[in-house]
Amino acid sequence: MEWIRLIGIAIIVIGFVLKLDTIAVVLIAAVVTGLVSGISFVEILEILGSAFVNNRLVTLFFLTLPMIGLSERFGLKVQATNLIQKLKGLTSGRMLTLYQFIREIAAFFSIRVQGQTQFVRPIVDPMVQAAAKLKYDEIDEDDVEMLKAKSAASENFGNFFAQNTFIAASGVLLISGTMESLGYEISPVAVASASIPVALIALALAAGSNILTDRKMDRKYGKKGGRK
């Protein structure tokens, strides 16, 4: 009967396969698992409530959504596009590489750029899209979505591969602390130093991919826009 407690995993798998609401699926799985484990419904609600209160800081990003909406409403995208128009020779691929470079430098100095919702969505992606449209006049919907994905990927790559280049980053301290507890003498400086080549390799690979993207779009659309 101990296996019945794993029913929550089955519920989550089925829910994800059927593409049901993620939060609802997880909550149902938690409640069902608790009930089959002998926990009363009231106790389950108490556990869920305590977990929410203890992790309530995770929901603070909701407060940024009205700010992003107001920024876009009052011309943030327009200003990003105007900036691109003033920069000569800046393609979508070069813009993506530049942003990942900036993201990695920011991570090295532990400067919080704030990620997808607060930075990529209202600023970086419009600049990447503007660079493409200025060069090719118009691009099809598939390439618009592709550039959106690559904008998001630049943020993820820059953040993920460079976050441990800062000596006091939580990941660095976790790694060094864990290794020391296992009997290995390793300092945070050593962890950060080992992370720098990884960040540079990630940047080089991304730059190569972005160059190929530019060339692919050149072959597809030709240089018929404002920047030739």
Distance separating alpha carbons of residues 153 and 173, to the nearest angstrom:
26
CA angle 194, 198, 203 (to 5 degrees): 145
pTM greater than 0.75 (yes/no) = no
Q: Is the dihedral of CA 217, 219, 220, 225 positive or negative?
A: positive
Question: Of 40, 94, 38, which Cα lies nearest the Cα of 206?
Answer: 94
Query: H or E segment at 211?
Result: helix 188-221
Contact at 8 Å (CB) between 8 and 29? yes
pLDDT by residue for the chain (228 residues), tens only, comes to 577 878 888 888 998 888 888 878 888 988 998 888 888 888 888 887 777 666 555 555 555 556 556 555 656 556 666 666 666 678 999 999 999 998 999 888 887 776 787 788 888 898 899 889 888 888 999 999 999 999 999 999 999 999 999 888 888 888 888 888 888 888 899 999 999 999 999 999 999 999 999 999 999 988 654 444
- 12 CB contacts (<8 Å, ≥6 apart)? 25, 26, 29
In one letter, which amino acid is 192?
Answer: A
Q: Cβ contacts of residue 144 below 8 Å, gap of 6+?
A: 129
Residues 119, 132: Cα–Cα separation, whole Å: 19
Q: Is the backbone of residue 110 left (phi > 0), alpha (psi -120 to 50) or beta? A: left
pLDDT number for residue 226: 46
Residue type at position 120: V
Per-residue confidence (pLDDT) for residue 86, from 0 to 100: 67
Rounded to whole angstroms, the Cα distance separating 214 from 228 reads 13
